Structure 1
Amino acid sequence: MSERTGTRDIPLLPLRGLLVYPSMVLHLDVGREKSIKALERAMVDDNKILLATQEEVQIEEPDAEQIYSIGTVARVKQMLKLPNGTIRVLVEGLQRAKIEEFKSKDEYFIVSISYLEEEVTDENELEALMRAVLAHFEQYIKLSKKVSPETLTSVTDIEEPGRLADVIASHLPIKIDDKQEILETTNIKERLELLLGILNNEREVLELERKINQRVKKQMEKTQKEYYLREQMKAIQKELGDKEGRAGEVEELRSQLDKSDVPENIRTKIEKELERLEKMPSTSAEGSVIRTYIDTLLALPWTKKTTDNLDIKHAEDVLNEDHYGLEKPKERVLEYLAVQKLVNKMRGPILCLVGPPGVGKTSLARSIARALEREFVRISLGGVRDEAEIRGHRRTYVGAMPGRIIQGMKQAGTINPVFLLDEIDKLASDFRGDPSSALLEVLDPNQNDKFSDHYVEETYDLTNVMFITTANSLHTIPRPLLDRMETIRISGYTELEKLNILKGYLLPKQMEDHGLGKDKLSMNEEAQMKVIRQYTRESGVRNLNREVANICRKAAKLIVSGDKKKVVVTPKTVEALLGKPRYRYGLAEKEDQIGSVTGLAWTETGGDTLNVEVSILPGKGKLTLTGQLGDVMKESAQAAFSYIRSRAEELDIDPDFYEKNDIHIHVPEGAIPKDGPSAGITMATALVSALTGKPVRKEVGMTGEITLRGRVLPIGGLKEKSLSAHRAGLTTVILPKDNEKDIEDIPESVRKEMKFLPVAHLDEVLKHALSR
């Protein structure tokens, strides 16, 4: 059997968007597994392989029916493995061949082929056709910029008519279907005539384009020119079947712009960017930057808003359904709704919910959104220290993106969401800028109608947004930022409130989450109170929720393992499920103590009790302070010491006590740093008790700062401190006279069980605190 006649079996390499003619030498990049195996088989045999084009470019694994039946037998001349796993192959087209049968389709295609011989007709006629084809090709090169003039020189030297048709067809930017038709035409005369028709058609299109351009250059104004060029591009794409590339991308974006409701200034901005994008080559890196910018502007809500549900009864029901207590924040939301109902437009309020962790600040914001039937967006500001996180990056930077405010609005999809800025007190600042200063514009109702984001470059209106911020404490928030927000304090819960929350919210939710019905788990009130008192010590209910989940998990295990059909949790079984109690209920001393006073402190996690102990030792008047005290507490101790020295005789203390004794003041739990302006009277009382030998009443807790004249100054966080005193089992709280007005903020259930003694001078403190 000869080299180029008869039939033979040969591996097949399907090509995507590419076609190889006989006598062509070119490089191919092969990445598909089947194709690589077909190449390896060809190298084992005689370096021959059939190159046939698949009908659809998008198909990753084509079937036999999806590959053209006529292709080109080629010789593999060289193979090179690239770093990305693909193989670069140098092939030389040899002869047309037809697939007669697919012998194997598993690992790679093996086909039975028959070689196709070219049909030669009258040589004179072929010579005339060759000259006509060359003349048309020369005119095409002059009109088109897609083929280099050097190509004509190389083509003119070809004497074989069939090969001439193949080489010219390989240089033309025509559809694969047309190229395949030329490959399948074995009659040389018909092939040249087919090529002549294609060249003639292409030349006419180019001639038409040239004439139109000349006429447009003279007559059309700028707007008509832009319109005509777009129409011309569409017509050319339609003629050549090209729907890909930059033009298609711009057309899609224009369609989105027409359907969007962006303001006129933004529409003008997008149109300018589209003009720039249209002129850029598809390979330009800046094109993708402009595309991302346009996508951002189109995705932002400019006018779309949700309709507020202004039914106050509905809002009240939703808030009560989700949260127990929290009267002040709920009342503020209902007031906002009432005003909205009376006026058409109101600037969104900026609320700051301040309170210890676990009291429901974030979930309350989510409930407000549900009550108003608005979209809800939450961003966490904890640890944010780059101003660009708020205002965005300028578009000149690589990887520029909008700030979190604009990203949140894009996520919301409406101009009036409930926008939660979580942990606003955890903002940081460094050499990259101060994000808290950037928030001044966001949270100012008189400025945020023209909020400026560096990436968007156009002003954005935030007046319809209801901003809610959360914080654990206010002292870390810069004063100008705090001034723009309406502060609502959410203090810790009393034991009674925790019991109601556990009974009505936490336990039913955890039972549902763990697949436990009332027939499988029950927990009586005494057991619930034991968990609250002896297994948690917190202002919120987060740890309480964890302990309830722990009980549910252990109950589920007992039921599934078959040990019990129903778990009944009582105070006795709580220890079996949760282990030994972690906290002693009530921290009040069991007996009156000398030189030991229970102070009341406020921390970021709520109120707490703080014992201050004083020891008198023989020495020379040295004052020692231990327990990781901050500068403010050290100064309070010095002030208390100086006051007692100045009043020693009136207090029945030896006036020379400081010359004969060293005094050691210690605040237990030395590993925990402590500071704040409310421990003055506590230290003074402990000093007087230690120096006089008079014990301090065990049921008394106190808070207040002291001056050198013995005046008691006001403090903050009275509600949290009172709750901690109640939790610790104290029954009397001594507080500054100026804080008397804050007593009404303390829950009524706590006020009924405790006695509050406002004092203006240290003498009154000693009168109430020391046992007589």
Structure 2
Amino acid sequence: MENITEQENRFTIPMLALRGLVLFPKMILHFDVGREKSVTALNEAMKKDQQIFLVAQKDIKVDDPKEEDLYRVGVVAEVRQILKSSGNTLRVLVEGSYRARLIDVIDEGNLLQATVEKYPLKTPRYPRTALCDALMRTVKELFEEYCYLTPKMPRDMIVNAVSSEDPVYLCEYITANIPLNVEEKQRILEESVIVKRLEDLAGVLENENNILSLEKDIYDKVKEQIDQNQREYFLREQMKVISDELGESESPMDEADEYVEKITKLKLGEEAENKLKQEAERLSRLPNNSQEAAVIRTYLDTCLELPWNTVTKEKTDIARAKKILDSDHYGLTKVKDRILELVAVRKLAPDIKGQIICLVGPPGVGKTSIAKSIAKALNRNYTRISLGGVRDESDIRGHRKTYVGSMPGRIINALKLAGSKNPLILLDEIDKLGNDFRGDPSSALLEVLDSEQNNAFRDHYIELPFDLSEVLFITTANNRDAIPDPLLDRMEIIELTSYTREEKFHIAKKYLVPKQSKRHGLSGKTLKIADDAIYALTDNYTREAGVRTLERTIASLCRKAAKVIVAGNEKKVTINNKNITKYLGPHRFKPEEVEHKNEIGLVNGLAWTSVGGEMLQIEVAILDGTGKLELTGQLGDVMKESAHAALSYIRSRATSLNIEPDFYKNKDIHIHIPEGAIPKDGPSAGVTMCTAVVSALSGTPVRYDVAMTGEITLRGRVLPIGGLKEKTMAAYRAGIKTVVIPKNNEPDLAELDSVVTDNIKFVTAEQVDTVLKTALISAYESHMIPNTPSLVKPTEIVPQQEAITQ
């Protein structure tokens, strides 16, 4: 009998903690017992009435559980059988009697006893409800689905559950006999309301069914794939046997042996040959349809396709090269001379290496097309790699072949496409390289473009040294400043400036018009574009550094002419300056012409843009005020600093320039550059701003036929500028007669077009005084030149002229 305590319904009983098991009332459970306290509790129970309290512990890893390690609800069970197994473990068979709640744990060292109280279910006051019946049906249906997904479920267990009409028995029987985790079983055991028990069990079964359904789908897919692979294997083996029986493969050569034979024929270096033969040997040991075999097969095919020893014979005939370059391109004298020098040197020293040329210039000037002409002149295979937007180092060096979808880099791929070991590879848009967390592709190109390193270039995919020293690399860029310095150090820069008006005319007449006429099915008998129409195209419909827009416009004329001819209106179309607006509409650009009138505070400047040179007129207005300087026209920081530097110089020379010394106190100066919507910046407008401000402050007119360019310092020195060719061409188009340039730019005059030097007088200036003397009109000249207002008396202008000519 239990030792009844003072409190009614509570008693003390030996306790055994279950690990990973939960017992339900009226259920039989057998388990192994090995812990000393558990064996002692069993012995204590057998000495009395064979009753023992079984409760699950929360963590199965705890060997000596305390009260906080145990759940609060367990089952009082009767020990039915104890068998001694191997070692010190006991095999125990128990049957659950009723639920009990743990009140206290009494640890006597080698024995655990528990103070518990009975914990019966809450029986409803009314008969079983429809909700309870509905939940029982749901649980039975879910259990049937569970049994379908678990084929090894005993049949009698299914019958016992489905035929039961007792909700308590149904719930406890199913929970006890399916493999659930301890937490879920314990939650159902602790629930005292029958309806909630059924709801919890329904939720558990629904979740288990979902998991089992997914497992079944995965298993079916894996089994289907394995079956398919086995079927393919048997079919291939049958095909081999049939081929042997038919005598169709009298001397079969294994795939790996074929690869070894191809590798031997290539006569590679020792390292490359051994590496590839090892891969072929690995292939022979793998199943034919395995994924690894496919990877090795792709790798070997890629390596064998490379031109390890294939070389094209280079032609070094200067006369032939010059003829090809002249026939493909007009102008570009500097580039052609450099290419002819390259041909001459390679004729005298064929083994010379490391000549990497970088063509820098605005879009559309022929950088890419001239690379094709160089390859044609040298009889080298040509391939192009576009580097614009490349951000991943693996694009250059390739991916490791262990990765899924790996491939060689662009350099190795270009060599495979070229089909020779010594092609011309064009690295296009090298200034557009990017970098991010995947690496810096410009650093990967250092080895490619270094003649001391590229004789053993290793691609990550190939993993073999490949000699790139015989490759002629030519790179292109729009902006020299955007090229990384380490790359720039390995290349020879050749500048391609924008085309002049005359160059565009000759290019259009000699190349573009015949090319587009042929492309659109026209000829000289059906379409004629007059010379004045070509000039009109360059002046009024296109404004760019290159000829791309010009070519597109010519193509538009060809399409419109084709339409007229096909419609049957005319058999031949002639386009000239008079009827060109009929085909292309009104002029898109107005010609740059200056007003033939000397103005005060209006100076002609020259600016460089990405599409060539442009006139940049600067206006200055003097207003009564407090000495403010206003700058408008969307100027950049450099031009704003030039304006401040010019104003400081004028203040330091105010007296000698015939300007009131205190003008900065009572006069506001407004400097404006028209076309305010267009951003403007650059270090070449300093002398122009200075001249305009001096003219406005002194009331002296400026010559309308004079333009200038140059930067100014606080001491009045004129600093050199860039883009002189484009700027002077803009001055020529606008009808300027005199251009003032910095003294240090005098050597650049040799590179100007002859049509410019024949029509423009150039004045070189070291100091601003020379600029002012050239641009400003003296009092005497203002009376002699028409349309020039006499703003000051002759006696007032003389000191200024004396100061300027000092």
Both structures adopt the same fold (TM-score exceeding 0.5): yes
What letter is aligned with 1:571?
N
**The residue matched to 1:735 in structure 2 has which SS?**
strand
Aligned residue-pair number: 551
Moved more, 315-324 or 287-296: 287-296
Q: How does 1:471-486 map to 2 (within 5 A)?
A: 471-486=477-492
1:605 is aligned to 2:593: no
- The Cα shift of 1:553 comes to 1.1
Aligned to 2:399: 393
The structure having more radius of gyration, on CA atoms, is: 2
**Letter paired with 1:483:** D
Partner residue of 1:758 out of 759, 764, 767:
764
Identity %: 56
CA 1:177/1:524 → structure 2, altered by over 3 Å: closer, same or farther? closer
Specify the alignment match of 2:600 in structure 1: 594
SS in 2 for 1:175: helix
Q: 1:499 aligns with which of 497, 500, 505?
A: 505
* Superposition pairs of residues 101-250 of structure 1, within 5 angstroms: 175=238, 248-250=254-256
Match of 1:683 in 2: 689
CA contact (8 A) 1:247 1:278 kept: no
In structure 2, what is the equivalent of residue 435 of structure 1? 441
CA contact (8 A) 1:174 1:240 kept: no
Q: In 2, are the aligned partners of 1:305 and 1:416 still within 8 Å (CA)?
A: yes
Distance (whole Å) between structure 1 residues aligned to residue 366 and residue 350 of structure 2: 31
Q: What's the offset of the Cα at 1:487?
A: 1.5
Distance change in 2, residues 1:453/1:670 (3 Å): farther
Cα contact 2:706–2:736 (8 A) shared by 1: yes
CA contact (8 A) 2:383 2:417 kept: yes
* Matched residue SS, 1:571: coil
Q: What is the deviation of 1:393?
A: 2.6
Cα deviation, residue 533, structure 1: 1.7
1:311 pairs, out of 307, 317, 320, with: 317
1:385–1:434 contact (8 Å) kept in structure 2: yes
For residue 158 of structure 1, what is the aligned residue in structure 2?
none
2:518 aligns with one of 512, 520, 531: 512
Q: Secondary structure at the match of 2:263?
A: helix
Return closer, same or farther for 1:625/1:478 CA change in 2, 3 Å cut-off.
Answer: farther
Per mean C-alpha deviation after superposition, the further-off stretch among 483-492 and 602-611 is 602-611
2:739 equivalent to 1:745: no
1:701-740 matches, within 5 Å, as: 701-740=707-746
Q: Residues 700 and 730 of structure 1 are in contact (CA less than 8 Å); yes or no, is this contact kept in structure 2?
A: yes
Report the CA distance shift for 1:652/1:574 in structure 2 as closer, same or farther (over 3 A).
Answer: same
Structure 1 segments of 4 or more deviating over 6 A? 170-174, 176-179, 239-243
Measured after TM superposition, the shift of residue 563 of structure 1 is 0.9
Tell me which amino acid in the other structure corresponds to 1:324: Y
- Select 1:253's aligned residue among 231, 235, 259: 259
Unpaired stretches in structure 1, ≥5 consecutive residues: 1-81, 90-145, 148-169, 180-236
Asked if structure 1 preserves the Cα contact closer than 8 Å seen for 2:544 and 2:610, the reply is no
TM, length-normalised to structure 2: 0.64
Q: 1:441-477 deviations in whole A, cap 9, x for unaligned?
A: 2222233223333332233222111111112221212
What letter is aligned with 2:319? K
2:576 aligned to 554, 570, 573, which one?
A: 570
**How far 1:239 sits from its partner (Å)?**
7.8
Sort the Cα spacing of 1:296 and 1:530 in 2 relative to 1 into closer, same or farther, 3 A: same
Per-residue CA deviations over 1:209-248 (Å, capped at 9, x if unaligned) read xxxxxxxxxxxxxxxxxxxxxxxxxxxx9589999xx995
Query: More deviation in 608-617 or 574-583?
Result: 608-617
In the superposition, relative to structure 1, how do residues 768 and 407 fare at CA in structure 2: closer, same or farther (>3 Å)? same
8 Å Cα contact 1:492/1:723 also seen in 2: no
Q: Read off the aligned partner of 1:342 and give its amino acid letter.
A: L
Bigger mean CA deviation after superposition, 406-415 or 691-700? 691-700
- 1:346-370 CA-to-partner distances (Å, cap 9, x unmatched) read 2152111122222211111111111
Is the contact made by 2:354 and 2:450 (CA closer than 8 Å) also made in structure 1? no
| CA deviation profile, 1:82-120 (whole Å, cap 9, x unmatched) | 99xx9x99xxxxxxxxxxxxxxxxxxxxxxxxxxxxxxx
The alpha carbon displacement at 1:528 in A equals 2.1
2:701 match: secondary structure: coil
Instruction: Give the AA of the match of 1:524.
Output: A
What one-letter code is carried by the residue in structure 2 that aligns with 1:597? V
Aligned to 2:661: 655
Change (3 A) 1:459 1:672: farther
C-alpha distance after superposition, 1:162-181 (max 9, x if no partner): xxxxxxxx9999737999xx
Structure 2 CA distance for aligned equivalents of residues 453 and 495 of structure 1: 47
Which residue matches 1:673?
Answer: 679
What pairs up with 1:372-451 in 2 under 5 angstroms? 372-451=378-457
Query: Contact conserved, 2:364 with 2:545, CA < 8 A, in 1?
Result: yes
3-state SS of the aligned residue for 1:529?
A: helix
How much is the aligned-residue C-alpha RMSD, in angstroms? 3.0
Give the Cα separation in 2 of the matches to 1:263 and 1:718.
Answer: 54
CA distance in 2, matches of 1:558, 1:633: 51
Secondary structure of the structure 1 residue equivalent to 2:589: coil
State the AA in 1 paired with 2:405.
G
Q: CA deviation at 1:375?
A: 0.5
Aligned partner of 2:541 among 529, 535, 543: 535
Which amino acid in the other structure matches residue 273 of structure 1?
A: E
Q: Is the 8 A contact 1:424 1:469 kept in 2?
A: yes
SS in 2 for 1:464: coil
* Pair 1:338 & 2:344 matched: yes
Paired residue for 1:456, among 439, 442, 462?
Answer: 462
For 1:641, give the aligned amino acid.
L
Aligned to 1:556: 562
Q: Could you say what secondary structure the match of 2:619 adopts?
A: strand
1:618 aligns with 624
**Counterparts of 2:373 and 2:236, CA distance in 1:** 61
TM-score (norm 1): 0.67
Which one of the candidate residues 684, 688, 694 is aligned to 2:700? 694
Q: How far off is 1:263 after superposition? A: 2.7
Secondary structure of residue in 2 paired with 1:475:
helix
3-state SS, counterpart of residue 599 of structure 2:
coil
Matched-pair contact (CA < 8 Å) for 2:592–2:615? no
Distance of 1:240 and 1:277 partners within structure 2? 27
Cα displacement (A) at 1:249: 4.2
Q: Report the Cα distance in structure 2 between the residues aligned to 1:283 and 1:670, rounded to whole angstroms.
A: 69
Secondary structure at the counterpart of residue 708 of structure 1: coil
Do 2:455 and 2:468's aligned partners in 1 also have CA atoms closer than 8 Å? Answer: yes
